Amino acid sequence: MTARFRAGLGRIVLDPGHGGRDPGAVGLYGLTEKRLVLDISRRISRSLRRLLPPGNRVILTRTRDRFLDLKKRTAFANKHDADVFVSIHVNSSPIRSTRGVETYLLAEASTPRALRLAARESGTTVSEMSDLQKILGDLMLRSKVTESHQLANHVQGAIISRLIETYSNINDLGVKRGPFYVLVGAKMPSILVEMAFVTNRSEARRLKTRKFRQNIAEGIAMGIFKFIGATPRRASVPGGREIFQNTEATRP
């Protein structure tokens, strides 16, 4: 994979969750998941394009507010011979104090909350997830678990590192496992990122700002880049940190 990206042949697919008739999580201040994740995905794409060597491609499963079936998202990534698949989401909870960032890979649910979250993001119920839980017991479907876990660790760590530079009370919820339908069928390392809670007053206020969304995007981009291991365009910049300066361009 590293060789592919260094040669300019790499492919990254970003998947802004929900869209169209499916708004996803609806939170405070009129925030909707489908709009937030599309904006942040565009920001991630721009950051990666500035960082990666020429020739590599960053592709979004949707570039506008339209509905896309879950199965078509990983099929899209497979069709484009993607090396990495990252599904972008924001979180919600009936408990308004719940906040933080967490990253998931495809496997049996690691906690009851992970199962409930997977059911919500998949548009189904917890009881209906049981069949998928059984399927995931098949080791044939876990060929990319190790790589996906590495990708998740890089992305989760980079988001937290980026946010704590500017914000207080950043809650690291860690890397977890869950039966997310949107990750089923991916032939490449794949993860799902839940970036913040639209139902938490503090995080919802932050999500309203371009600055916070940009910081999240840059964290995700750096995590993906670290997983890939390619040489940055400006390799002399320690850690690639300054590569992300002045990338702000998108408006809500």
| pLDDT tens string 54-96 | 999 999 999 999 999 999 999 999 999 999 999 999 999 999 9
The per-residue pLDDT for 192 is 97
- One DSSP character per residue, 200-222 reads SHHHHHHHTSHHHHHHHHHHHHH
Per-residue pLDDT, averaged over 220-245, amounts to 65
Exposed / middle / buried, residue 235 (Cβ in 10 Å: 0-12, 13-18, 19+): exposed
Looking at residue 238, its pLDDT comes to: 38
pLDDT for 111 = 80
Question: What pLDDT, on a 0 to 100 scale, did the predictor assign at position 121?
Answer: 82
- Position 117 scores a pLDDT of 87
Residue 201 pLDDT = 98
Beta strands at 172-178 and 84-91: parallel, antiparallel or unpaired: unpaired
Pairing of strands 190-197, 84-91: parallel
Give the pLDDT of residue 124.
Answer: 75
Query: pLDDT tens digits for 115-172?
Result: 788 888 877 777 667 666 656 655 445 568 889 999 999 999 999 999 999 999 999 9
If pLDDT is split at 50, 70 and 90, which confidence band does 231 have? low
Query: For position 33, what pLDDT does the model report?
Result: 98
CA distances from 9 to 2, 44, 53, 54, 160 (A): 10, 19, 9, 9, 29
Mean pLDDT of the chain: 87
Neighbours of 192 (CB within 10 A): 26
pLDDT, one tens digit per residue, over 97-110 is: 999 999 999 887 77
